[in-house]
């Protein structure tokens, strides 16, 4: 009986010995992309309202597209961390 208990104790101690070390894994946070440069936009005051001419309107749209790309890069990084 003592031999049986000794063998059982050895089996249990050998089987449980692999669970002695806990390892925590932290995700690597990638570097943030550089903030994009923007095109200059000048507003003109006309009759109490602010307006832009055709060239400035195009620059305003280009800035919006640049911002969309930057936001998408940031969104991709955030989704990769989850």
pLDDT tens string 6-60 = 777 767 666 555 566 777 777 777 888 999 999 999 999 999 999 999 999 999 9
Is 90 exceeded by the pLDDT of residue 1?
A: no
| Range from 15-19, 60-64, 72-76, 77-81 carrying the lowest mean pLDDT | 15-19
Range of the domain at 57: 39-82
Q: What is the total count of domains within the chain?
A: 1
Nearest by Cα to 78 from 29, 25, 34: 29
Asked, for residue 43, whether it belongs to a domain, the answer is: yes
Asked, for residue 80, whether it belongs to a domain, the answer is: yes
- Model confidence pTM above 0.85: no
CA atoms within 13 A on the CB side of 75: 6
Asked, for residue 54, whether it belongs to a domain, the answer is: yes
Asked, for residue 11, whether it belongs to a domain, the answer is: no
Asked, for residue 23, whether it belongs to a domain, the answer is: no
């Amino acid at each position: 009986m003592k031999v049986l208990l000794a063998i059982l104790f050895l089996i249990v101690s050998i089987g449980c010995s692999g669970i002695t070390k806990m390892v925590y894994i932290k995700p690597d946070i990638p570097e943030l992309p550089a903030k994009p440069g923007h095109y200059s936009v000048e507003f003109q005051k006309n009759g109490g309202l602010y307006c832009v001419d055709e060239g400035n309107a195009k620059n305003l749209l280009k800035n919006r597209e640049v911002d969309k790309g930057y936001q998408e890069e940031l969104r991709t990084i955030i989704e990769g961390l989850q």
